[in-house]
Amino acid sequence: MLRSHRTLEKEFKRALEELSRSNAKIAELDQTRQRRELSVADYTRLVAEKNQAVRARQQTIKDRDQVVVDLQAVTQMGSGMRSTRPPSWLRSMTYNTRIRSF
């Protein structure tokens, strides 16, 4: 079932927020590791947390990309005489996110 533009916009914004949180968590874990000497157990835990945050970020990117695909499908199916371009909020967020997230 196709989702509405509003639903897709909310999902896209949620994905961006999760991506931002994941990036912040990864940066925090990297800084923690660099600031102090860690025991082997602490270092192992830190690496596991970072790997989990990286996987969460990768899944969020996949979710965000799926929202874009779904939005394009909604736009094309519901487009009678309207433009088939994605809404401006999606174009600007996709561009800005692409720069910030990689």
Q: What is the pLDDT along the chain (102 residues), one digit of tens a residue?
A: 456 777 777 877 887 788 888 888 878 877 876 766 667 787 788 888 888 888 888 888 888 788 777 777 776 665 554 555 566 666 665 555 544 443
Domain that includes residue 49, residue range? 5-101
Long-range contacts of 1-7 (CB under 8 A, 24+ apart): 2/70, 2/73, 2/74, 2/77, 3/70, 3/74, 4/74, 5/71, 5/74, 5/75, 5/87
Which residue type does 98 have?
R
Query: How many other CB atoms are found less than 10 A from the CB of residue 43?
Result: 12
| Domains contained in the chain, number | 1
Question: pTM of the prediction?
Answer: 0.47
